[in-house]
Structure 1
């Protein structure tokens, strides 16, 4: 009996071994037919790419990403049209100086949301498609705020459309230019395109510049190194163009045009406009400039050039001027020392030497501060919506401060700009 049980167990083991051998042979054959896996690592086109915010990049940094000077000028001009800031990747992608391939290469590193709230114009609040109400054929140059709103655009979108039209000199010129308006989505453009009373393409005469005015200007000889923004406007440039020319002279050329050709290189001056101006350009030889008496200089009016003269580099000077503009003016000297990207040692010497005149710095109460000021001021913008909400019911500063429940250090900064 025991022997029989023994043989049964032995037979069981032999059967199991045979099954295992067959299985191994079968799976081995499959392995022979299975190709060897190879893992290929894609090498990026630029090994020096890094996460970046396109709103923070200057001309030099765009160059490092492989863009030409001309492309960079277009990108910076486009950013200026948008109000000085890209709010989404979708906006950046619409800049025609950035090819699809280049955008795809940079896309993973761009520190912006995919689409901004203003750009999600193809959707209604309930998630349904927002169809425009188009009355018939129309010229977008002739539409008022009311007309755009009636068509189905929001107030913010309408404001952006009119701002862009003004930037172009009061006319969209062509369907091509109209399509470039960042706030108009592809869906909305496809709805509007058949009704637009505009030529399909931009005329060659309009492509090189942004001055489409037909007003005859009586030119007089002038030195471009002595003109301020208002004087450039008197020569027929828009406010934005005038600021760009002054900026280009003071920052890019360190304060002066050396030859008329330097003026021609400024991208907002078309070839036609330059030909008009050239006979009147008189660049005087730079005499030894009077040194600034920094003990009498006001830190709220000191210029970029004077900051360079004091010894600051362009980055520090630009940061101080930029922060001052956002604040509407400095209220105390510590704010200047707290500015980002500055040489603190040199700035400390400057604030110890110069004056600070604060009488022209705008100040408001929380109850009557303009909404735009609240939303754009560095110290108020994060609390702006709450302030606007609370003051509707409680137009009293004491109560609003109480409801805001701010950290003491934040409240202290805000109170610098309160009457």
Structure 2
């Protein structure tokens, strides 16, 4: 008996062997990837990436040190730039640079405007990141924002929010999980032809549903989709197809989603060594069957003409 149980546990089906081979191939591939990457990636690429990184660091340093550098340039008089009146909402990058603003800061201003930012007051210029305070104060007298400029008009948006707009939510008909066909399943939100066919096929292999939650066990059905369709699922009548564990062969038992191959082998092996099952609870004598597994399969099995 112990030898038979050992052979059952160490014996794998064709699908299980294929899965083990695929897992081994993936493991070897993942382990070899670093060496393959280093072999096929020339060192020049890493040197180029390093040089780009250093350039970015220098650019960032220039932004942080821009305040001190600009102040020294203005104090020493070495930087003579043109001064003219300008609208900060219309000035391009070249114009900002003509005013003495660094290229990096000018590009920062342009990105700020592209994202919808606007200068509404002169003092907003002092809030620009990377603009030296001394330079900002020097440019304030030249800032000219048109008097007609107003903040974005949000009146229309407020009025739209205040309207009492009623949305008609689509309603779906209630669906009996034990009698609905594929077309009816497809009428539910998030269920296409593939999922509908899987649900029907899963129900047929089980022998019918005895609880709505079993629909969520369908292979490939996301939890979010099941939660979406669950309010429309009903169960009017339960009529389960049951397997006689004393008469059903190993292949037929293995096709049931809750039994599968290993348990089917052990059931047949138990019958061979102990004779026919007398009660359904005798399944608990099989090492693979615990209380949770027994509770799942007890409604799908039966014993006819139980031996005394």
Q: Name the TM-score class by shorter chain.
A: 0.3 to 0.5
Higher alpha-carbon Rg: 2
**TM-score, L = length of structure 1:** 0.28
**TM-score, L = length of structure 2:** 0.37
